[in-house]
Chain A
Amino acid sequence: MNQEQVREITYAQAVAEAIDEEMARDENVVLIGEDVGIIGGNFKATVGLRDKYGDWRVKDTPISESGIIGLGVGMAITGMRPVVEIMFSDFIALGMDQIANQAAKIRYMSGGQVKVPLTIRAAMGGGRSSAAQHSQSLHAWVAHVPGLKVALPSTAAELKGLLKTAIRDDNPVVFMEHKVEYNKKFPVPEGEYTIPFGKANVVREGDRLTIVATSNMVLKSLEAADKLGKEGIHVEVIDLRTLVPLDKQTMIGSVKKTGRLLIVDEGHLSFGAGAEIGMGIMEDVFYDLDFPMMRLGTEDCPIPFSPALEFPIIPDAKKIYEKAKMMAKR
């Protein structure tokens, strides 16, 4: 990415820009979802697209998650590149059959006759007092289903490049946007660029500990790493970008260097994506580990409404800092 550009846009604007560019490029790209049209999305991430592309390409749908994902599957296997928005990622629970049993498997079941270039965008994560049914980070579910790809962009620049890749990918991609990021501004390069799937991003180099993080936890990890850096503890931070495909090589290289691995992912800790990140490279790094691999994740309780309860259960820079410091000590 061109470092000279200092243009700043929000994460939400990056969504709209990525979709806009892809729609301009390919008339097969359409956007459907609840409230994506007239008001430009519940999170204002698709503002302006309906005005530009019209009602049939930017379609406000009924509240029918299963139906609209299935609609996307049908469009995708007949030559289009639909982008389906599921307002809150918690609602993928209503469409899991179409995601996991249909979108993910139709190509395989057909023996390769069809392809499913479908992007499912959804807003994940806690931190906005949205309570138990609007705050989850359920990417572990979809990452467990062969046939799907899963992306978790951390910043607006990452989002834009990864979303364009998702839309151009000929496979179903579940694209998890973090809801606390939408209104934040980030430097984003001008012009066209894509970011390939399956290439983790080393966002900070270090030698004492590797932190592998996803989505918003990348930013929190960087905060923690900055603080540790000031104390002379240099921590490497890796933004995983995609869970599927999973870039094991970058992680393995880093852990071989640092000997220590902390995984930070916002999904519930137990049976979460972090477990795979660790076990997935276990055999490769076992003899290089100076310390047990450790994880941070959202505690194993439904997400409570009250901020007094919610913030303590989600990993933050302080918790990451403390855990990392404990691990990095010699």
Chain B
Amino acid sequence: MVDIKEYGQFETAWCPGCGNHQIIQAVKRALAEEGLRPRQVLMVSGIGQAAKSPHYLRANVFNGLHGRALPAATGARLANPGLKVLIESGDGCSYGEGGNHFLAGIRRNIDVTYIVHDNQIYGLTKGQASPTTEFGFVTKAQPQGVFNTPFNPVAAAVGLRCGFVARGFSGDVDHLAGLIRAGMAHRGFALIDVLQPCVSFNKVNTFAWYKKRVQPLGPEYDPADWAVALQTAHEWGDRIPLGVIYRDETRVPLEDRIPALASGSLIGRPVNQTVLAEIMREYE
């Protein structure tokens, strides 16, 4: 276990009362408890309020483009499988602009822990609907209310047989830190969708609203049972289950399948001149 102080303490640009404050706390705690030092960690994000997270802890940081955290993280992981790669970004970034990468990343099963700050809104751009915004929710961009069916990321991920799917709540840091640790321990793509109140733009799904509904899954719950997981994942109403909803430890992460990575990171590996010359000779 590493001292959490190594991860520092930073002033943030978030609103007071925002759920992001707790999430970053949980992330730091999980990293320290896993015994990871900042230099071993790469935090990747896109753009949005959530995506500022990597600036609020000490680690290697790749704060890329809106919606594109996952491909960047994929490239980084493939480059250096020695790095622990975490992604933190918003629901808009991850399921809106980045929706195609979400689908592909799960299929690719790259070993990253993807923490989505799901405030069901586009926070940084001042409150337009995100894919997870509830039906009927009124915003300046949706003055008649949202017409779209909300996206249930947990259900989608389980449906795609993502090897690790969890739902957390920013209001329960202990529980969340545990989920993040479990996600990091999982070898392969791990999704942790974190319910996060946005005090400025989401006046519907407030802290109280979540608090009333979230309910951690008990020890009797078996996340290995896919059919049950699928059903649990679709639960969203008076009860919203929290915890590891689905876990399949048998899936092989992409990194393990790529021959070039069998002997570890490619960084600094010199060009094999013999092989290169052989390749050139194929063109004779």
Question: Does chain A bind chain B?
Answer: no
Residue positions of A touching B, CB distance < 8 A: none
